[in-house]
């Protein structure tokens, strides 16, 4: 039922609980986990053109570190992992990747009832609302 699981990551320490859930589901089903980091290009729309490439390079490096960390943990648990870095609106990229890669389940963190973070719109809320596949959310409110 769950052969391919999508695990969007931001690289934060709060991802530990999300990774644990993804490992549990994937290990029980011999599934592949796709660790996805999205470079949020909305965050630097107002930067001068010359500065954008430096920012993108820095965020890409963060993404490589984040996905490598997830891959290391999954490898240690014997779970097959694929790492992916994309650029765009995080919720849109999660949804697009899920469709393109034939994902069966999305496992992602949410800030739950943290209304200050959710006032501007939540990536997990949009994914839950718009996803064609089940979404398992893990509360990572700090």
Q: What's this model's pTM, rounded to 2 decimal places? A: 0.90
Alpha carbon separation from 33 to 2, 53, 57, 74 (Å, rounded): 10, 29, 25, 8
The full set of domains in the chain, from first to last, is 4-139 (3.40.50.620)
* Alpha helix segments (H runs only) across 39-89: 49-76
50 vs 63 pLDDT, higher one = 63
Q: Is 88 exposed, middle or buried (0-12, 13-18, 19+ CB in 10 A)?
A: middle
Q: Could you tell me the two tokens for 87?
A: 């650029």
| 53-109 confidence digits (pLDDT tens) | 888 888 999 999 999 999 999 999 999 999 999 999 999 999 999 999 999 999 999
Confidence (pLDDT) at 120: 47
Q: From CA 67, how far away is CA 64, in angstroms rounded?
A: 5
pLDDT one-digit tens code per residue, 7-44: 999 998 889 999 999 999 999 999 999 999 999 987 66
Label residue 119 by pLDDT band (50, 70, 90).
very low
Q: How many residues does the chain have?
A: 142
Strand order across the beta sheet in which 80-88 lies: 80-88, 32-40, 4-8, 105-110, 135-139
Q: Which two tokens stand for residue 101?
A: 């890669």
Return the number of other C-beta atoms located less than 10 Å from residue 116's C-beta.
7
């Amino acid at each position: 039922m769950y052969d391919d699981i999508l695990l969007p990551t931001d690289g934060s320490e709060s991802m530990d609980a999300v990774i644990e859930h993804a490992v549990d589901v994937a290990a029980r089903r011999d599934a592949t986990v796709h660790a996805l980091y999205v470079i949020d290009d909305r965050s630097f729309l107002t930067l001068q053109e010359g500065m954008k490439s430096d920012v993108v390079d820095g965020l890409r490096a963060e993404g490589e570190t984040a996905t490598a960390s997830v891959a290391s943990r999954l490898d240690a648990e014997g779970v097959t992992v694929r790492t992916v870095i994309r650029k765009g609106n995080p919720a849109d990229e999660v949804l697009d990747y899920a469709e393109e890669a034939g994902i069966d389940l999305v496992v992602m963190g949410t800030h739950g009832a943290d209304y200050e973070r959710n006032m501007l719109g939540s990536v997990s809320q949009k994914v839950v609302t718009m996803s064609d596949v089940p979404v398992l959310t893990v509360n990572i409110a700090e």
